[in-house]
Structure 1
């Protein structure tokens, strides 16, 4: 069933750090009116990179996660800077966080965090044909690079220090896509 999008009667904005909070006065097609809040990303989106060291091995990074106050294992990720596209941002972030560049980058799809109230999108990029190259990044310490076999994804998904949803979803999507490329 295709529904008509709700009519926006009014938007009230408030800036909160890198985000803009909007309060929406909406009217749905059945006449019901509601107020919704959403966070609008203040940037150009982000990338989540699946760096393949070889056909079976992905590179993960361990970095400090302030939200949980612990070290978290996950994929290379970061924002898309002004003037960059997702492929350029993915290659830059890969060099900054893992110390590798990529000769073959593929954008698979976008991922959202909480689309019911956030506009933020992250682009899932698979990086292959890696070569050593490091760029200075904004991390306060060098990140630990951890090779992980895709065949052992079942063990990774249950680790307490691997909890970020984008990384988990990206690995399963990339594994399926890579399998279809063989």
Structure 2
């Protein structure tokens, strides 16, 4: 918006700080609205998805996974990062199938969230899935997680008591609550599972 010009920072230059197997950290020099220059360090991220998968009986699909930075097992909605050149829906289909074994007949895009705006450009697409069919999981090498189901009431209670502390899953719980009570609507589409191509 034009009326935000007094807030905007203008990029001047970029230096690479770290390029690991997952993290890519850069340091940008920017010109502030005052005309002075300063630096901003942040993580470049390819983007990710989160899937709120609804079973016919009203329960949702969740995961428990050890997260090393937190030194704890965390309860989350299924999620994962985009592969190079991969679209958001294709990623959602792939991650749901690989991590949980479920494929879905219908999909609805809810929106996106930016979980760490102060130090990363990551955006997470929020997808709802229904018409689930359970198949075989295909976890990545070195990936270990438990899949289970729970009621929306359980999810809400776990957000309240801290069992669910993952930021994207807290946002997912908000979306779930508002969709189920009719305050927020979704546009559902029957979409073939592209991640199932070539699988037996």
**TM-score (structure 1 length as normaliser):** 0.85
- Counterpart for residue 105 of structure 1: 107
How far apart are the structure 2 equivalents of 1:128 and 1:94?
11
Q: Unaligned 5+ residue runs, structure 2?
A: 187-200
1:146 and 2:148 aligned? yes
Change (3 A) 1:113 1:125: same
- Contact 2:156/2:173 (8 A) holds in 1: no
Change (3 A) 1:9 1:79: closer
- Counterpart for residue 87 of structure 1: 89
What are the Cα deviations for residues 23-43 of structure 1, in whole angstroms up to 9, with x where unaligned?
222231xx3524241424242
The farther-off stretch of 134-143 and 70-79 is 134-143
What are the Cα deviations for residues 51-72 of structure 1, in whole angstroms up to 9, with x where unaligned?
1112621111111111112211
CA RMSD of aligned residues (A): 2.3
Cα deviation for residue 139 of structure 1 reads 5.4
Equivalent residues in 2 for 1:17-28 (5 A)? 17=20, 18-28=23-33
Change (3 A) 1:7 1:141: closer
- Counterpart for residue 165 of structure 1: 167
Cα deviation for residue 175 of structure 1 reads 2.6
How far apart are the structure 2 equivalents of 1:165 and 1:179?
22
The farther-off stretch of 68-77 and 144-153 is 144-153
Determine helix, strand or coil for the equivalent of 1:177: helix
Cα deviation for residue 12 of structure 1 reads 2.6
Determine helix, strand or coil for the equivalent of 2:89: helix
